[in-house]
Chains A and B, each alone.
Chain A
Amino acid sequence: MQRLVSQKSVAWAACSVAKRSYASASRVTPSTAYTHPTGSEGASTSSTPQDITPEQRNALDAALRIDQAGEVAANYIYMGQLAVLGRDRVAGPLIQDMWDQEKKHLAVMNKLQHQHGVRPTMLWEVAKVAGFGLGAVTALMGKEAAMACTEAVETIIGEHYDDQLKELDAINTADPSVPLLKEVVKEFRDDELEHLDTAVLHHSQRAPAHAFLSTVVGAGCKVAIELCRRI
């Protein structure tokens, strides 16, 4: 899996450099339906599917709960990293950029939570504290360690969004909110993978005990996902 990921990262690095040079801040993406609503979205940003089975409803709720908790944790990880590395000439602006994107993700996730009537996780405060702690500790270990932490977290989140897309494909509903949700999840998955390749480009693989760090952080993320699914 690690080898696949680094091959994916190299491929991403190649095409995302080109993407970055054409990217503009006002690009219309699926999530602008939530961040900059024009009023023409109709029911896709306000309704929730009523014609799905209870199991599918529970799966949708759990998925959105995990996504929201993940975005909270990611926000606080970057906050923790910035608290330590904020003055670094290279890493500082980089982490700030990635954090700004995560803030946007969280705002959209909050809107999705209210749209679909999902209970947020009770581990909200835990996610904040753990995220800040992880970000600060890895940043104290060095720039490369901070990048390695970002790489590990974004790998897990990217995989999770991918699994979620497969789950959403299995849901058959007439409601317009689900196709928009799929587009938003796809967009966020791509954003997280972009963060992953940014981290790799900035020498995350040079971090001391990179494999150990990635394994520990990855395992922690998986435990957090399972907890948020239930609590």
Chain B
Amino acid sequence: MTALRNELLKLALPLVRTHGFTREALSRSALALPTPHPEPLRDTAVSALFGDGDDARRTLISAWLDEGRTHMREASDTSIKDALRTRLRYNEPVLNLLPEAFATLATPPGHILDPRPALKHAAAVADEACVLAGDTSVGTLWHARRASLAAIYTAAELHQLQSPHTADGFLDGLLDSESRVKNTLDDATQYAGYIISSWVGIIKSRGILL
């Protein structure tokens, strides 16, 4: 049952371009099976497989986002910039549907705004980009890197929703600022290290045992 559900979900993804993130895309996925179903799934079947009302749409949107991360692996060059650009490319065919899709994700049945799916989406994209670029940071640096990339990607995606043509330039600008800030922080840390070593040396030379 789960295998069939997953297969139908995968087949519904190409239909998002034509039918949007709707229950209709899910019901028409049955027509694309290897042994095609004679007619689209009935509404009750869609509810049974994927959930009632908007829950089914949320399942489809989440599956589409997961597919986006798999799509990132097709980036031509294994750099963070290319991985994020490829992910932004993936958004392009359905750009006009995305604001409503994200809004649906953020409004679960309880009708209280839920920021978690958006945060999870950004974190997952950042993680995938780091893995593809062969990032080997550990500890706090692992978290810091992914947090900053998630913020950059979120800003770039929001920019893309408003102004698709300048999205790449905006992403490049953000990544450049991030690397400039990182270099400045590294330099500042190194300088602070020199100051501290100097003071340790001065204190030791005064005869105070350390």
Among candidates B136, B140, B143, residue contacting A114 with C-beta atoms closer than 8 Å: B136
Q: Kindly provide the distance from the CB of A53 to the nearest chain B CB, expressed in whole angstroms.
A: 12
* Alpha-carbon distance A119/B140, docked complex (angstroms): 11
- Tell me the chain A residues, 111-139 only, with Cβ under 8 Å from chain B: 113-114, 117, 119-120, 122, 124-125
* Alpha-carbon distance A113/B141, docked complex (angstroms): 14
Among candidates A114, A117, A124, residue contacting B139 with C-beta atoms closer than 8 Å: A124
Residue A110 at the chain B interface, CB threshold 8 Å:
yes
Chain B contacts for A113, CB-based, 8 A = 138
Please report whether the interface of chain A is mostly helix, strand, loop or mixed according to DSSP: helix
Residue A196 at the chain B interface, CB threshold 8 Å:
no
Q: Mark B40-64, 1 if CB is under 8 A from A, else 0.
A: 0000000000000000000000000
Residue A153 at the chain B interface, CB threshold 8 Å:
no
Residue of A nearest to B138 (CB): A110
Contact B131 A125 (CB under 8 A): no
Contact B143 A122 (CB under 8 A): yes
Q: Mark A148-165, 1 if CB is under 8 A from B, else 0.
A: 000000000000000000
Residue A72 at the chain B interface, CB threshold 8 Å:
yes
* Alpha-carbon distance A110/B143, docked complex (angstroms): 14
Residue B142 at the chain A interface, CB threshold 8 Å:
yes
| B131, B138, B139, B140: most-surrounded residue (chain A CB, <10 A) | B139
* Alpha-carbon distance A124/B138, docked complex (angstroms): 9
Contact B136 A72 (CB under 8 A): no
Q: Kindly provide the distance from the CB of B83 to the nearest chain A CB, expressed in whole angstroms.
A: 15
- Tell me the chain B residues, 126-144 only, with Cβ under 8 Å from chain A: 127, 131, 136, 138-140, 142-143
Please report whether the interface of chain B is mostly helix, strand, loop or mixed according to DSSP: helix
Contact A125 B140 (CB under 8 A): yes
Q: Kindly provide the distance from the CB of A65 to the nearest chain B CB, expressed in whole angstroms.
A: 11
Chain B contacts for A72, CB-based, 8 A = 139
Q: Kindly provide the distance from the CB of A224 to the nearest chain B CB, expressed in whole angstroms.
A: 15
Chain A contacts for B139, CB-based, 8 A = 72, 120, 124-125
* Alpha-carbon distance A33/B97, docked complex (angstroms): 48
Among candidates A68, A110, A117, A124, residue contacting B140 with C-beta atoms closer than 8 Å: A124
Chain A contacts for B138, CB-based, 8 A = 68, 110, 113, 120, 124
* Alpha-carbon distance A25/B199, docked complex (angstroms): 39
Chain B contacts for A114, CB-based, 8 A = 136
Chain B contacts for A110, CB-based, 8 A = 136, 138
* Alpha-carbon distance A222/B106, docked complex (angstroms): 38
* Alpha-carbon distance A110/B139, docked complex (angstroms): 9
* Alpha-carbon distance A110/B138, docked complex (angstroms): 7
- Tell me the chain A residues, 45-75 only, with Cβ under 8 Å from chain B: 68, 72
Q: Kindly provide the distance from the CB of A106 to the nearest chain B CB, expressed in whole angstroms.
A: 9
Contact B142 A120 (CB under 8 A): yes
* Alpha-carbon distance A114/B143, docked complex (angstroms): 13
Q: Kindly provide the distance from the CB of B123 to the nearest chain A CB, expressed in whole angstroms.
A: 10
Q: Mark A91-113, 1 if CB is under 8 A from B, else 0.
A: 00000000000000000001001
- Tell me the chain B residues, 103-154 only, with Cβ under 8 Å from chain A: 127, 131, 136, 138-140, 142-143
Chain A contacts for B143, CB-based, 8 A = 120, 122
Residue of B nearest to A121 (CB): B139
Known contacts A72-B139, A114-B136, A117-B131; 6 additional CB pairs below 8 A are A113-B138, A117-B127, A119-B142, A120-B139, A122-B143, A125-B139
16 A-B pairs whose Cβ atoms sit less than 8 Å apart in the complex: A68-B138, A72-B139, A110-B136, A110-B138, A113-B138, A114-B136, A117-B127, A117-B131, A119-B142, A120-B139, A120-B142, A120-B143, A124-B138, A124-B140, A125-B139, A125-B140
Q: Which 5 residue pairs spanning A and B have beta carbons closest together?
A: A124-B139, A110-B138, A124-B140, A120-B142, A120-B139
